[in-house]
Structure 1
Amino acid sequence: MQVQPSVMTGRFSGLSSKLIATIIGVILLVEIVVYLPSLASFRTNWLEDRLRVGIVAARVLDAVPDVMALPRNLTDRLLNSADAYAIVYRREGQSQLIELTEPVIPDEVVTADLRLSDLPTQIWGALDTLFAGPGRTLRVVGAGDMEESLVELLMSETPLRREMLDYSRSIALVSLGIAAVTAFVLYVLVSRLFIDPVLRVTGNMLSFRKSPENAALILTPSLRRDEIGILERELAAMENEIFSMLRQRRHLADLGLAVAKINHDLRNTLTSAQLLSDQVATLDDPKVQRLAPRLVTTLDRAIGFAQSVLDYGRETAAAPNFAPVALRAVVEDAAFEARASGNPLLAFSNEVDSELIVEVDAGQMGRVLGNLLKNAREALEAHSDIADPAIVVSATSDDERVVISVSDNGPGLPPRARANLFVAFEGSARAGGTGLGLAIAREIVEAHGGELALAEQALGTRFDITLPQRRAAT
């Protein structure tokens, strides 16, 4: 069953939606990376603001010998300014404390030491505050403004957490806005530069595939010099080649049909002439007896040529049906069909290892070997002056390939046959031949993923069939 290509149903169903999602995702990821240090800095600044109020209170405590003499409204004002329950001032081993009129007993206390200014510690503290539950008490510790002095504040963490949440929401809204605007601007630019040309090329491919014989659908490439421009030009060239090939195929098909009909009628006519020549050959006239063999030979060649053309026209392009087979047995069958084995006029030798297994289409590979063996036999039979005519088939294999060699000790191929090797109707080595056997053999070998080549040797002719080793030989 042929798989139909998927068709895009909208502009945002393909690369466009992926592009927008990627841009927004990357921007949000960058914002997250920037957000964490920013949140840590916000928390540190917030705590330092409260600590500065504590330092002011520490100065007051340092200036008054008797803390108890401070007015209660002044101490409460200092504590409220710092949002603190209590402020502790430590200096030279002494501690001074001011606290609210009604002391607060905390349930859970966490420490924020502002003397630790490294970024990982600040980020971890910010995340701890952001995701903490309500009700915790924060112990803020920082250096005072005098030598070897220390200020501590006890305060609720809730105001800090609330402001951090508000700050995070603001950052999130700003980030989404930046991401949306940036994604839109980048999308417009990328669409004009990349997405629109890709959609144009894709649409053209889908349209041309439905009607490849419509020349109006051939893509007109732009003047771009980048990769998309190269893609457009190469696609346009390929569509032109396909259009020309299909048109040529139609013409050749029509011409082939006409030739097949003419050839069929010609073969019937030649068959009738052959029957008549057989009757003429029985006459006792010396001239008839001398000319009749030539006439019969000429008619046999003409009939053979017509039959070869018909066979080539009926040749199908079926894909090979690969299966493991014993190569020696395939060679034996092909030699028998080609009348190479058991022939009293020549010696045939099958040197293929009986344990060599190859994965090929046995029928198609038998045709290849049969054509090669038939050509070798005919070449040897046409030259009776060759001493000890022989045909040898051998094979070598490794983990990657199998090489099958068909060789003979005949006269070799003439220059014209070498120049047009594997070309139908041109590459025949004998008079009256069509050259179709080698053309068909090469097509079959190439369909197996291999190569059929003429090997150079001093005496005779040798063809090598090189096939990929689809399965290790056993």
Structure 2
Amino acid sequence: MRARPQVLTNVLPGRFRGLSVKLIAMIVVVILGAGIAIYVPSIANFRLNWLDDRLRVGVVAARVLDAVPDVMSLPRSLTDRLLTAAGADAIVYRREGQSQLIELADAPTPREAVTADMRQRDPLTVIVGAFDTMLSGGGRTLRIVGSGDADESLVELLMLERPLYVEMLAYSRNILILSFVIAGITAFVLYVFVSQLFIRPVERLTQNILAFRQAPEDGTLIITPTSRRDEIGILERELAAMEAEIYSMLRQRRHLADLGLAVAKINHDLRNTLTSAQLLSDQVVALDDPKIQRLAPRLVNTLDKAIGFAQSVLDYGRESATPPQPRPVDLHALVEDAAFDAGLAGHPSVVFANEVPADLHVNVDAGQMTRVLVNLVKNAREALEAAGSRVPAPAIAVTAGETGEGVTISVSDNGPGLPPRARANLFVAFEGSARAGGTGLGLAIARELTEGHGGRLILADVPTGTRFDILLPASALVR
């Protein structure tokens, strides 16, 4: 039986949605973010240095003013050169309560003024001043105030803010271009490195998983791991091992399915043949020949075992994989029905005791749980019948009660117990039978059905007899 190709619900992402694009975008964003973090103090420092340069020229001009007794006697050409060198429209020098002023002959009309006090150099003031200049557009008059060389002297420069604004704008543009260049180069280098080291291997793994999922029976799709020793290498080797196991299991499942169909057909024909043979044996039993009368019971018994074996195999092959549909069930009544189906009603020698509390209700699939109990009780009955006189008072008891983890249902008997061979393969189909001619399917089916309810079926360790415990989770308890 071949696995049906599955429709892929996941496909590889497009060119602009893969890991590589996300990686490049993340690198660019991180570098630009770092550039912004560097730009803020650098633009503030650029403005501060620019103002310091202008202030130093203003201080030199103030020295000239301080050396001349009468500022008005200075030639206009000299004062204009001093102002032009400082880039100022006017310079004011204050000392000991006196002020001296020089200004350009054709000084522009004063505009809205903004003061840059160079005596305040804390980072917040410097950064706020830089962004204030950038956002102003450069249309104001800039008043630069700073200390002169002499004690308590003060120098003020009045100039247009436009030159500072233009130079800061050019500096910002250069920083932005440089940031993009660095981000692009770094992103490309990191992309090449990370792509070879991580992204390409991940894409290879992703493509292999998608392809293998679509055709898991194609052995050529099993990934060939590389010699890497890191996490990617471990992932490749584990994926290769997992795909090899899936490939083997699918082949085995197909072989078992084909074999199961063949066995089912053989058993069906064999059961019909054995039924016909049983009918003939019934007619033979009616003959008066003493030899036939002595051999006929053995023949009938052998045919019954063969028919039972064939029927068990057919039942196991038809075992439904339908999930249980739990409903509140009266466990006491469920055990009574199971005992009746197991052939204990009116049994001549085996005493059955239903010790389940009458008010105990569980949330289980009634049909499946009945089958579990029937298999366990029937196995106990057959063990007691096979023991014969070795058990003087054969008895079977079913008990149940709440535990800290949920509900425990116990099926026990006082028979001779299970032989070592049966214990070794207790829940293995066709191997776990405790009696000759048995198939061992009853316990295998009971365990599967119990696990389908989220529980466990275990063999309890008791000094005499045999006891099986059905351990159901707390969700099975109806309160």
Q: TM-score, with normalisation over the residues of structure 1?
A: 0.89
Instruction: Check the 8 A contact 1:24/1:183 in 2, yes or no.
Output: yes
Q: Would the alpha carbon gap of residues 102 and 308 (structure 1) be closer, same or farther in structure 2, given more than 3 Å must change? A: same
Question: Partner of 1:406 in structure 2?
Answer: 411
* Correspondence 1:463 to 2:468: yes
Question: Partner of 1:114 in structure 2?
Answer: 118
What does the per-residue CA deviation read over 1:396-422, in whole Å, with 9 as the maximum and x for residues that have no partner? 244x65444333333322111100111
Gaps of 5+ in 1: none
Give 1:365 deviation, angstroms: 3.2
Q: Would the alpha carbon gap of residues 115 and 350 (structure 1) be closer, same or farther in structure 2, given more than 3 Å must change? A: farther
What does the per-residue CA deviation read over 1:190-218, in whole Å, with 9 as the maximum and x for residues that have no partner? 11111111112221222222222222222
Paired with 1:76 and 1:309, the residues of 2 have a C-alpha distance of 116
Question: Partner of 2:359 in structure 1?
Answer: 354
Give 1:175 deviation, angstroms: 1.0
Paired with 1:458 and 1:381, the residues of 2 have a C-alpha distance of 20
Q: Would the alpha carbon gap of residues 347 and 108 (structure 1) be closer, same or farther in structure 2, given more than 3 Å must change? A: farther
Q: Would the alpha carbon gap of residues 84 and 462 (structure 1) be closer, same or farther in structure 2, given more than 3 Å must change? A: farther
Q: Secondary structure at the match of 2:434?
A: coil
1:417 pairs with 400, 416, 422, which one? 422
Instruction: Check the 8 A contact 1:91/1:150 in 2, yes or no.
Output: yes
What does the per-residue CA deviation read over 1:314-363, in whole Å, with 9 as the maximum and x for residues that have no partner? 223333345565655554544443345775632222425735543x4443
Q: Secondary structure at the match of 1:453?
A: strand
* Correspondence 1:450 to 2:455: yes
Paired with 2:281 and 2:130, the residues of 1 have a C-alpha distance of 111
Instruction: Check the 8 A contact 1:356/1:473 in 2, yes or no.
Output: yes
Gaps of 5+ in 2: 1-5
C-alpha RMSD over aligned residues? 2.9
Instruction: Check the 8 A contact 2:332/2:354 in 1, yes or no.
Output: no
Paired with 1:300 and 1:160, the residues of 2 have a C-alpha distance of 110
Q: Would the alpha carbon gap of residues 62 and 406 (structure 1) be closer, same or farther in structure 2, given more than 3 Å must change? A: farther
Paired with 1:297 and 1:374, the residues of 2 have a C-alpha distance of 18
Q: Would the alpha carbon gap of residues 90 and 375 (structure 1) be closer, same or farther in structure 2, given more than 3 Å must change? A: farther
Question: Partner of 2:27 in structure 1?
Answer: 23
Segment of structure 1 superposing worse, 118-127 or 165-174: 118-127
Q: Secondary structure at the match of 2:9?
A: coil
2:152 pairs with 141, 144, 148, which one? 148
Question: Partner of 2:3 in structure 1?
Answer: none
| Equivalent position amino acid for 2:114 in 1 | V
Q: Would the alpha carbon gap of residues 165 and 450 (structure 1) be closer, same or farther in structure 2, given more than 3 Å must change? A: farther
* Correspondence 1:368 to 2:372: yes
What does the per-residue CA deviation read over 1:221-248, in whole Å, with 9 as the maximum and x for residues that have no partner? 1111111111111111112112211222
Segment of structure 1 superposing worse, 372-381 or 229-238: 372-381
Q: Would the alpha carbon gap of residues 377 and 472 (structure 1) be closer, same or farther in structure 2, given more than 3 Å must change? A: closer
What does the per-residue CA deviation read over 1:148-197, in whole Å, with 9 as the maximum and x for residues that have no partner? 33323333333322222222121111111111111111111111111111
Segment of structure 1 superposing worse, 413-422 or 204-213: 204-213
Q: Secondary structure at the match of 1:151?
A: strand
| Equivalent position amino acid for 2:124 in 1 | P
Question: Partner of 2:398 in structure 1?
Answer: 392
Paired with 2:104 and 2:361, the residues of 1 have a C-alpha distance of 100
Counterparts of residues 8-407 of structure 1 (less than 5 Å): 8=12, 10-101=14-105, 108-322=112-326, 330-339=334-343, 345-351=350-356, 354=359, 356-358=361-363, 360-384=364-388, 385-387=391-393, 389-398=395-404, 401-407=406-412
Instruction: Check the 8 A contact 2:146/2:155 in 1, yes or no.
Output: yes
Percent identity of paired positions between Structure 1 and Structure 2: 68
Instruction: Check the 8 A contact 1:108/1:137 in 2, yes or no.
Output: yes
Instruction: Check the 8 A contact 2:398/2:409 in 1, yes or no.
Output: no
Paired with 1:340 and 1:106, the residues of 2 have a C-alpha distance of 117
Q: Secondary structure at the match of 1:394?
A: strand
| Equivalent position amino acid for 1:450 in 2 | G
Q: Secondary structure at the match of 2:415?
A: coil
Q: Secondary structure at the match of 2:136?
A: coil
Paired with 1:470 and 1:153, the residues of 2 have a C-alpha distance of 86
Question: Partner of 1:440 in structure 2?
Answer: 445
Q: Would the alpha carbon gap of residues 153 and 386 (structure 1) be closer, same or farther in structure 2, given more than 3 Å must change? A: farther
Instruction: Check the 8 A contact 1:332/1:350 in 2, yes or no.
Output: no
| Equivalent position amino acid for 2:94 in 1 | R
| Equivalent position amino acid for 1:338 in 2 | A
Q: Secondary structure at the match of 2:92?
A: strand
| Equivalent position amino acid for 1:395 in 2 | G
Aligned residues, how many? 472
Paired with 2:11 and 2:397, the residues of 1 have a C-alpha distance of 58
Give 1:28 deviation, angstroms: 1.2
Instruction: Check the 8 A contact 1:85/1:104 in 2, yes or no.
Output: yes
Q: Would the alpha carbon gap of residues 252 and 471 (structure 1) be closer, same or farther in structure 2, given more than 3 Å must change? A: closer
| Equivalent position amino acid for 1:261 in 2 | K
Give 1:136 deviation, angstroms: 3.3
What does the per-residue CA deviation read over 1:426-474, in whole Å, with 9 as the maximum and x for residues that have no partner? 1011222111111122223333443322221223222233344448853
Segment of structure 1 superposing worse, 98-107 or 147-156: 98-107
Paired with 2:143 and 2:358, the residues of 1 have a C-alpha distance of 90
Q: Which structure would you say has the larger RCO, counting Cα contacts within 8 Å and 6 or more residues apart?
A: 2
Paired with 1:98 and 1:330, the residues of 2 have a C-alpha distance of 114
Instruction: Check the 8 A contact 1:340/1:348 in 2, yes or no.
Output: no
What does the per-residue CA deviation read over 1:361-381, in whole Å, with 9 as the maximum and x for residues that have no partner? 443333323322322333334
Structure 1: 4+ residue segments shifted above 6 A: 102-105
